[in-house]
Amino acid sequence: MTRDAIVVGAGVIGLTTAVVLAEAGRHVEVRSRERPAETTSAVAGGLWWPYRIEPREAVTAWALESFRQLSRLADRPDETGVRLVDGTYACTEREERGGWAAGVPGLRPAAGGELPAGYGHGVRARTPLVDMPAYLGYLERRFAAAGGTVVHRAVGDLAEAGRAAPLVVNCTGLGARDLVPDPAVHPVQGQVVVVENPGVSEWLAAENRATGEILNVFPQPYGVVLGGTAREHVWDRTPSPGTARAIISRCARVDPRLAGARVLAHRVGLRPARSPARLEAGRLPGGARLVHNYGHGGAGVTVSWGCALAAAWLADGDGSGEGPVSPGRAE
């Protein structure tokens, strides 16, 4: 089969982009040195929330498109791993939310009694909460059903991929630092602890702006994901026992039931951060079209469908030089 496109990277951004391209009728191959279950995406807590990602105007369009797509998938949670779950986002200081907030049905200010102690501001919302290992498996199956193939091998040169297909989409996340190369993309280390669920049914995300401390409680079918950390430019993927104890302690202060919950797993992932996220097109030597789609930090699942549709729109462009993608929907 002749390849129409090669997508480099098998995380949530790469797989979603591959699905969009394949379902549009292209013959698509995903190349990645890691299997989807081994990517940073598999470690993510899975909450839809535009977290530390720019540019703001484009993020609004990307995130709301993803909200719509994920909300539809939540009708089949056993198949897709996506559920709609009520929860609270809390902050120590009042903050201005982007335009995306107006597009979330039912989002409202949290009352004082709905906020954890020490947090004076926040909102309540019902948002997608994604079981990432299950969801990545769903995307793989959906991609295969559209005729796509996944090849587990490293890509050391984008130009090499461009000799094998007329379109290359670079969804390598942190790998783009060396592959492009792009020194603007860098890791933001995140550590989480997974514990047995003592009865938690809602998600909680809280941020202390003065200290930079974050607190996450995300109930998943396999347990409760407790977080976390956001350490810029830290490459270490080894879980720290001291950090794990601090995470459990913080989370137990807002929900004492978590203090004695049995620990199931420790996980560390490196968010691929870049400001702004890169979604633009150009040409490779030899003429193949190149679309970059990476640098989404901790908001990969949050913007995945919007960015995938925008990348597909860029793939159909005229190929004249590089330039930022239009933030509008690409359908």
Max CA distance (Å), the chain: 62
Confidence of residue 228 (pLDDT cuts 50, 70, 90): very high
329 in any annotated domain: no
Q: Is the pLDDT of residue 264 over 60?
A: yes
Q: pLDDT tens digits for 9-35? A: 999 999 999 999 999 999 999 999 999
Q: Is the pLDDT of residue 328 over 80?
A: no
Residue 238 is labelled as binding a ligand = no
C-alpha distances (whole Å) from 51 to each of 1, 80, 178, 198, 254 are: 40, 23, 25, 27, 21
17 in any annotated domain: yes
Cis peptide before 175 (omega within 30 of 0): no
Query: Can you tell me whether residue 92 is helix, strand or coil?
Result: coil
Q: Quick one: tokens of 199? A: 């009865």
Q: State the residue range of the domain holding 123.
A: 5-324
What's the confidence (pLDDT) of residue 98? Answer: 85
Residue 147 backbone class (left: φ over 0; alpha: ψ -120 to 50; beta: rest): left
Residue 246 is labelled as binding a ligand = no
What's the confidence (pLDDT) of residue 96? Answer: 80
Are 173 and 272 in contact, with CB atoms under 8 Å apart? yes
Q: pLDDT tens digits for 31-84? A: 999 999 999 999 999 999 998 899 999 999 999 999 999 999 999 999 999 999
Residue 297 is labelled as binding a ligand = yes
> CATH number of the domain that 217 lies in?
3.40.50.720
Residue 282 is labelled as binding a ligand = no
> How far apart, in whole angstroms, are the C-alpha atoms of residue 122 and residue 89?
5
- Segment 190-215 shows an average pLDDT of 95
Residue 25 is labelled as binding a ligand = no
Residue 41 is labelled as binding a ligand = yes
* Phi–psi pair at 198, nearest 5 degrees: -85, 10
What's the confidence (pLDDT) of residue 94? Answer: 87
**How many domains does one find in the chain?**
1
Q: pLDDT tens digits for 112-171? A: 899 999 999 999 999 999 999 999 999 999 999 999 999 999 999 999 999 999 999 999
Residue 155 is labelled as binding a ligand = yes
256 in any annotated domain: yes
Q: Provide CB contacts within 8 A for 166, sequence distance 6+.
A: 4, 5, 287, 288, 289
Residue 306 is labelled as binding a ligand = no
94 in any annotated domain: yes
Q: pLDDT tens digits for 271-323? A: 999 999 999 999 999 999 999 999 999 999 999 999 999 999 999 984 433 43
281 in any annotated domain: yes
Residue 271 is labelled as binding a ligand = yes
- Segment 196-224 shows an average pLDDT of 95
Give the predicted TM-score (pTM) of the model: 0.94
> How far apart, in whole angstroms, are the C-alpha atoms of residue 140 and residue 268?
23
61 in any annotated domain: yes
Residue 142 is labelled as binding a ligand = no
What's the confidence (pLDDT) of residue 321? Answer: 38
What's the confidence (pLDDT) of residue 121? Answer: 95
181 in any annotated domain: yes
Confidence of residue 87 (pLDDT cuts 50, 70, 90): very high
Residue 172 is labelled as binding a ligand = yes
DSSP summary character for residue 158:
H
330 in any annotated domain: no
